[in-house]
Amino acid sequence: MTALFVPVIHGAALDRPDEQDTIDTAKAVARSLSHLGFATEILTVRPGLTALDQLPARKPYAVFNLVEALGGKAARAEEAPIRLEELGLVTTGASGSAYVVANSKISTKELLANDGITTPEFWFAGEMVPATETVIVKSIDEHGSLGMDEGSVVTGREAKSEIARREAEFGGRFFAEEYIAGREFNVSVIETRAGPGVLPIAEIDFSRLPESTRPIVDFAAKWDAAAPSYHDMVRRFGLERMEPNLADEIRELSLATWHALGLSGYARVDFRVGDNGKVYVLEANANPCLAPDAGFAAAAAEAGLTYDDIISSIVDVAVQNSKVMA
């Protein structure tokens, strides 16, 4: 019997640690698919997406989409699921339309606000930010904390010039977001045939950081092994046991965010909880990192799931969802 074909696609191309991580993740996913009995191979997708046009003739069971950027631009990642849908192929993760929304932090905020979900205030380039407000300057559509560092947190008075400086340095569009001092949580959501479920909640422990260091998960903290913050910020679980009421609120908001953005397959929702206890949704990632040592796999392991369990579930629900939509 011929094994079902599930190719793994990614768009990593640049010599940058986040892009190398995508390549390593594609290899890990392909190994898992092989363990699960699927035929697989890794396809690198470039702008233009010509590598995808050959796939319909090969009749894949599903396409495992790990495209987080095209040509180094995260804003273009949504082109991959949109093309796969145009080709009539089953793809893992979010639909093209959901990816478009989730890939933009602004579109995400607008949809969340429409559903009454609290998210920090924000200001576009050129808008007047209250001078005494503390803000964090972020890219609108880059993920992986690209363009974020210690200098990203500034006063409202400095926001306009800081947005302009970062757009000049990193390209793309930046905005200023109300800075929420407090705790940070990452919540992994995985869909099964029974619907989306929230995995154990992970908190980013900032307690080991020097007092002079701003507690933000910036690019260095995620990707630069030479940076102290890379080692000083650790992930911890146990919120459900230690603070069940807060855990319940975060779980409910995670699922509300999932539905508000029309997500599917798997996703991650990032939160800040202010010093006053108020819970804010920062953003959602429709295609979070699936590396074996990343947060999603860690949350799954905390729930008793193996890496193969994750990959199997993601493929299974993609196929089932496609049958429902047919």
Query: 10 Å Cβ neighbour count for 23?
Result: 14
Q: Quick one: tokens of 243?
A: 């603070």
Contact at 8 Å (CB) between 45 and 80? yes
Question: Could you read off the pLDDT of 23-71 as tens digits, one per residue?
Answer: 999 999 999 999 999 999 999 999 999 999 999 999 999 999 999 989 8
Those residues whose C-beta lies under 8 Å from the C-beta of residue 120, and which sit 6 or more positions away, are: 177, 178, 179, 180, 272, 280, 282
**What pLDDT score does 302 carry?**
98
Q: Identify any residues that bridge with 203 across adjacent strands, giving them in sequence order.
A: 185, 236
**What pLDDT score does 141 carry?**
87
**Gyration radius from the chain CA atoms:** 19
**What pLDDT score does 306 carry?**
98
Contact at 8 Å (CB) between 172 and 75? yes
**What pLDDT score does 72 carry?**
85
- DSSP letter for each residue of 199-231: PPPEEEE-TTS-TTS-----HHHHH-TTSHHHH
Residue 227 exposure: Cα atoms within 13 Å on the Cβ side: 15
**What pLDDT score does 253 carry?**
98
Q: Identify any residues that bridge with 284 across adjacent strands, giving them in sequence order.
A: 269
Phi, psi of 185 (to 5 degrees): -130, 145
Query: 10 Å Cβ neighbour count for 172?
Result: 15
The CATH class that applies to domain 102-118+181-201+237-325 reads alpha beta
Tell me which residues of the chain have a pLDDT lower than 50: none
Could you give the CA distance from residue 95 to residue 286 in angstroms, rounded to a whole number? 9
Question: Could you read off the pLDDT of 268-310 as tens digits, one per residue?
Answer: 999 999 999 999 999 999 999 999 999 999 999 999 999 999 9
Could you give the CA distance from residue 80 to residue 76 in angstroms, rounded to a whole number? 8
Q: In 93-180, which ranges are E strands? A: 122-124, 134-139, 153-155, 174-178
**What pLDDT score does 285 carry?**
95
Could you give the CA distance from residue 60 to residue 180 in angstroms, rounded to a whole number? 45
